[in-house]
């Protein structure tokens, strides 16, 4: 698989792992420093809680306006309905897991077809493994590793069928995660070291030579040059996450979205899930300024890509 072409405009599509803007920022950092003359521009279109369904919903408002030449896609963990693993084994549970898998295959292929139809080159990424066998202090969902492996195997097959690039995060992270602390306690989300390994894996798949970390070595911090772009990107990714998980209707007028989230905050409807408290309150602050934040991100991405 070759690196991104000179002048490429690369969008990353994914879930909360992508939206965290850690491995994506590390890839951007590599290109702007080691391949500065390539002038590659990056955009993060990850959505916390996102799936193939959210990715399809957000193509028109979030992805296509960027006019990408390339798309990097990593989805599957939220599509897998892995919480069914908490239930006793039964025909109903197995059928639910099979339905989730079948839906994923259909929706991922639909997503790829829509992007290819726009002339966008694809890089498919296997979902990072569910770290079932890692002792984190939180009990794992037994069977989670095998469940996500099934999704990874489909992504590998689809990449072969489409003749597109493949980054096999599942294989690489499975090799490493028992020897390195790559995950947060939830067994799902990579930590800073995990994100550094993911960036390393993507760049190596492109035939590039990032400085590979020695086993157990902590990664270098992301360049402060990207701080403004990362901070603004986090605000926009939070807006999309709230509209996916709380508003649940992107087509609503903005005034109605804000009213719905105000009601959610006033009623303290997040229960024990305090993450929703934080993102819903941030939404009320940042949603009215969405256009200005997006414009700032676009300017910063261009500035960074052009070495200014």
Measure the CA dihedral 236/15/20/212, to 10°.
-140
- CA dihedral in degrees (255, 260, 263, 265; nearest 10)? -100
**Residue holding tokens 């726009």?**
118
Q: Contact 186/136 with Cβ under 8 angstroms?
A: yes
The domains of the chain, with CATH numbers, are 9-220 (3.40.50.1110), 233-305 (no CATH)
Sign of the C-alpha dihedral, residues 233, 75, 143, 177? negative
| pLDDT (mean) for 265-294 | 96
pLDDT, tens digit, 9 for 90 and up, residues 126-144? 999 999 999 988 999 999 9
pLDDT confidence tier of residue 209, bands split at 50, 70 and 90: confident
What does DSSP say about strands 121-125 and 41-46: parallel, antiparallel, or unpaired?
A: unpaired
Per-residue pLDDT tens digits for 107-126:
999 999 999 999 999 999 99
Q: What are the angstrom distances between the C-alpha of 164 and each of 46, 122, 194, 216?
A: 20, 6, 25, 32
**Model confidence at 216: pLDDT above 80:** no
Residue 53 has pLDDT above 80, yes or no: yes
pLDDT score at 247: 97
Residue 213 has pLDDT above 90, yes or no: no
Q: Can you list the positions of beta strands (E) in the chain? A: 9-14, 41-46, 70-74, 121-125, 165-167
What confidence tens digit (pLDDT) does each residue in 64-106 have?
A: 999 999 999 999 999 999 999 999 999 999 999 999 999 999 9
Q: What is the pTM of this model?
A: 0.96
């Amino acid at each position: 698989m070759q690196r991104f072409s000179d002048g490429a405009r690369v969008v990353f599509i994914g879930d909360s792992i992508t939206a965290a803007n850690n491995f994506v920022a590390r890839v951007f950092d590599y290109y702007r420093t080691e391949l500065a003359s390539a002038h590659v521009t990056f955009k993060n279109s990850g959505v916390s809680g996102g799936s193939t369904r959210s990715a399809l919903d957000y193509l028109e408002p979030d992805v296509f306006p960027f006019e990408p030449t390339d798309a990097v896609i990593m989805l599957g963990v939220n599509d897998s309905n892995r919480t069914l693993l908490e239930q006793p084994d039964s025909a109903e549970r197995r059928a639910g897991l099979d339905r989730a898998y079948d839906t994923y295959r259909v929706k991922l292929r639909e997503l790829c077809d829509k992007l290819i139809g726009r002339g966008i080159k694809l890089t498919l990424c296997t979902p990072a493994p569910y770290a079932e066998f890692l002792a984190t202090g939180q009990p794992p969902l037994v069977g989670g590793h095998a469940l996500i492996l099934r999704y990874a195997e489909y992504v590998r097959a689809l990449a072969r069928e489409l003749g597109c690039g493949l980054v096999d995060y599942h294989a690489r992270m499975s090799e490493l995660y028992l020897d390195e602390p790559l995950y947060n306690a939830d067994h799902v989300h990579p930590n800073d070291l995990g994100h550094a390994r993911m960036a390393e894996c993507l760049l190596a798949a492109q035939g590039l030579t990032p400085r590979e970390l020695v086993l157990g070595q902590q990664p270098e911090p992301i360049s402060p040059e990207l701080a403004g772009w990362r901070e603004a990107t986090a605000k926009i990714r939070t807006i999309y996450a709230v509209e996916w998980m709380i508003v649940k209707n992107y087509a609503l007028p903005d005034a109605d979205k804000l009213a719905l989230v105000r009601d959610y905050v006033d009623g303290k409807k997040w229960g024990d899930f305090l993450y929703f408290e934080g993102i819903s309150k941030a939404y009320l602050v940042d949603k009215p300024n969405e256009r200005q934040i997006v414009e700032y991100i676009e300017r910063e991405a261009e500035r960074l890509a052009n070495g200014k």
